[in-house]
A and B are shown apart, each in its own frame.
Chain A
Amino acid sequence: MKFPGILILLAAYVFSADIFISEIHRDPAGAESAIGGGASHEFIELINSGNDTLFIDSLYITDGTESDSIVPVDEPVSGHPDCIVSTRFLFPGQTAVILDPDYRDAVTRNPSCRLPIAEGSVLYMCGDRELGAGGLASDEGVMLYKGTKIVIDSIICFASDYPLNTDGKISLSSPVNREGVSLVPVSILFDTVVYDYCAASVTPGRCELLRNGWVIDWRLREKELSEDLVTCTIKCRKPGGGKESQRWCLYCDSSGVRKILNSGKIVSGALTSTLISEFTAGNFDLVFSMANTEWLIDLSGVRMSGGVVRINELSPRTLTGEPEWFELVNTSSMTVNLSGWKFGNSSDTAILSATDRFLEPGGFLVVTKDAEALCARYPGLKNVLEPPVWHTLDNYRDTLLLTGRSGFFCDIACFESAWFTKWENQSLERARPDYDGLSSESWNLSLRATPGFPNSSLFWRTTQDPSMEIGPIPFTPDGDGTDDLLAVTLKVPSSSTVSLSIYSFEGRMVRTFSGPAVRKYLWDGKTDNGQKAAVGPFFVIALIQRSGNSVMIRKKGVLWR
């Protein structure tokens, strides 16, 4: 079953704000193993941060392509005597861990693969199959919803950084996966849930965001670049609620001397409380204090000069009827007002926006000559800006400069057609946000234009050391719906070309993949002639070429049917 990508986009508007995926563990430590039951297991941790109980009846999990029911673990699990089993409820403030269905048997047979699940956690598992239907890929996100296997009634929560995906898959590609380290949210109370590595590798059943029962989240914004005025928005929530009143205090700490900036009281029963304070940036630490607990607020992002807004993608050559456009991304932790900013080159500049136009941290803004035409071309596109006057981009060679309100240099994008082979009407994507934008290495031809969203190559072309993963092993293209396709996932440096071939045990090349390099190749077990490839070992050979140098990666697998 496939969920259309647009359905997942809608999730941003309808999902419950009370249930969060507070940990996702996709790449367990240990050797790649084909043995059923495995020595390592994936899991997903949930927290009910609201005031209502979650009933798991009709609760399903999906990676966007396959879905599976969530059911209680019905008997105590070896090594986890204090975890809660056989319950269909997740009460406010409780944490649950969703496990693979074979976890209980695996820990009984092999206690060394036991996860360090916190006492009191509620244990659930997938009803039929492993998380993500055969394991979560290293760039895969998940969504929990109420409904049936084929119908979504309401979305409970999801972990994803790229909600619109044409192939239906839910992706969570940033940060790049590390073996044995799970991802935990570092920010959940603002619009975007941001994930990062778990400092303690894996902590199933323990929500890192909870301190003394509270979740605190904040955003900083420079009000005026010239006056060092900073607005601090703090959001507070107490999972499980209650009606107690709490005193809070925001103060600056300079060499041990504390000065109160703001203080007040909030009632924890109100789901999320928002506190806004304003202060002048200086050389001090900013500390938020509540419920006998202190949170140090990172001010390092506030003083960033220029450069926080980058040109992330641009499309000087477009299809007929599609206007020119370029995309900006805010790489800082503060909201930026683009009012008065300019774009263009040394001889011609244009105002980006004459009025306030805010770009949230991590947010994208698409700047185009004709917003209406662009939205018609890319349905679902939001955050589009049509400047009063357009600066036309050259199709062959140009420099696009972005300058701030007071004229400070912010970013530059240089390109010329000679850098690219077969540049027709593809957009140019920045290979990495930290590349200078001046050289050929900074830009890739996109696989598909992604205005308003992360680049199609952002996550697989951000490495200097190419790598390739294949799976499953064994791979069984017998049409039974399980392990029918071999996934070959690549990470390659920018400006690389990839030649991918599959060899039989006999040493013959049985399948080749040509055309522009893509992040994931899927092999159905057939040769280039459409015949079934022989069972037994096979080899996947990727030849990655870049700037005259080539690297060969060879992986072996087993085909069985």
Chain B
Amino acid sequence: MDDPFPSGYLMGNLGTIIWDDGMGGRSPWFPAAALHSGSGLVISVGAVSYYDRMDNLEDRLIYRAVSGAGYAGKIIKIKAAVSQFNAFGIFYSQTGFLSVGYRGFSLEATGYRFFVRGKEETARTLGELGAAIWVPFKYAAVMFQAEHIVLKESRSGSDTPFLLRGSIHTKRNLFGAQGVTVVVIPSRAQPVRFTLGEEYRLFGWLGIHAAVSANPVMIGIGVVAEWSRAGAALSFVSHPELGWSKGFSAEYRPRL
């Protein structure tokens, strides 16, 4: 089971706006490779409510709560995050994420536990690896990721298929910041997903962003506010059939 879009600040821009000293790069649930060297400690929390309420089980939501922390020294970077996913009180998923980076390269380990209420004895566990390379240039950075390389699973049949992601993320410029990602899932009949995003700063501390993706078609919008050591983002993603998802995230960077 893969998320339709990233959580937290990256939700409204569908993962396209990542600059290594910006909120996207600091998200603890994103690879450490994209964390700005020497940026210190960051703590983040986030929550997402997925899609509309639909026409059954109306009072039960699908949501994810995520929290984590990251630290970047001059060379070594490390991030860790945990999340809890609840689909209308019937299906649950718990995820642990650890990313260790060296300069612009990082390795990610992710552990999942899925279960259905009342059938806990049939819970599935899954351990995966991933890798990311962050290559910054003068005006933009290029990132390559491989995700969902299954190490061990309690039952065969991985539900998180292996994927490759390539992306370009510009630095902040006159027109804001832009990003393009291409995701390829080889096991899928329609394996490619394109996403295009833009963020524009209305003021130095307040920005708006938007993104659009194909396969599946989604439109994301969001507002981000950053102060000296804190930041918050409010995000919305629309799917033509499934409706609106709502998300919130906040981060704090304590002085060490």
Contact = CB atoms under 8 A, between A and B. Distances in A.
B122 interface: yes
Interface in A516-561: 527-529, 531-532, 534-537, 539, 541, 552-556, 558, 560-561
A474 interface: yes
29 contacts: A32-B57, A34-B117, A474-B90, A474-B116, A501-B241, A503-B241, A505-B87, A506-B4, A507-B4, A507-B218, A531-B187, A534-B2, A534-B160, A535-B1, A536-B87, A536-B93, A536-B159, A537-B87, A539-B51, A554-B52, A554-B55, A554-B241, A555-B55, A556-B51, A556-B62, A556-B87, A556-B88, A558-B88, A560-B116
Contacts of A504: 1
B189 A505 contact: no
Contacts of B56: 32, 470, 555-556
Contacts of A506: 1-4, 216
Interface residues of A, number: 35
A35 interface: yes
A474 B4 contact: no
Interface of B: 1-4, 50-52, 54-57, 62, 87-88, 90-91, 93, 114, 116-119, 122, 124, 157, 159-160, 187, 189, 215-216, 218, 239, 241-243
A554 B54 contact: yes
B242 A560 contact: no
B210 to A, nearest CB: 17
B54 to A, nearest CB: 5
A554 B114 contact: no
B193 to A, nearest CB: 9
A503 B242 contact: yes
B54 A556 contact: yes
A113 interface: no
A531 B185 CA distance: 14
Contacts of B88: 537, 556, 558
A152 interface: no
Interface in A489-514: 501, 503-509
Contact of B242 (A507, A529, A531): A507
Contact of A473 (B3, B90, B239): B90
B52 A536 contact: no
Contacts of A507: 4, 216, 218, 239, 242
A527 B187 CA distance: 12
A35 B118 contact: yes
Given A32-B56, A505-B4, A507-B4, A536 B189 contact: no
Contact of B54 (A474, A501, A531, A555): A555
Contacts of B160: 534
Interface in A8-49: 32, 34-36
A34 B4 contact: no
A497 B118 CA distance: 38
Nearest to A474: B116
Contact of A539 (B54, B93, B118): B54
Interface string A371-412: 000000000000000000000000000000000000000000
Contact of B90 (A531, A554, A558): A558
Contacts of A468: 55
A296 to B, nearest CB: 43
Nearest to B118: A36
A37 B91 CA distance: 18
A34 B90 contact: yes
Contacts of A553: 55
Nearest to A559: B91
Contact of B91 (A32, A474, A529, A531): A474
Given A553-B55, A554-B55, 12 more contacts: A35-B117, A473-B57, A503-B241, A505-B4, A505-B50, A505-B62, A507-B218, A507-B239, A509-B216, A537-B91, A555-B54, A558-B91
A153 B91 CA distance: 44
B124 A535 contact: yes
Nearest to A561: B157
B241 to A, nearest CB: 5
Contacts of A532: 157
A536 to B, nearest CB: 4
B115 to A, nearest CB: 9
Contact of A536 (B51, B57, B114): B114
A539 B56 CA distance: 10
Contacts of A531: 187
Contacts of B215: 508
Contacts of A535: 1, 91, 114, 124, 159
A503 B240 CA distance: 11
A208 B226 CA distance: 71
A496 B15 CA distance: 41
B122 A560 contact: yes
A213 B183 CA distance: 74
Contacts of A501: 241
Contacts of B124: 535
Nearest to A469: B56
B130 to A, nearest CB: 17
Contacts of B241: 501, 503, 539, 541, 552, 554
Contact of A558 (B51, B87, B187, B216): B87
Contacts of A34: 90, 117-118
A126 to B, nearest CB: 20
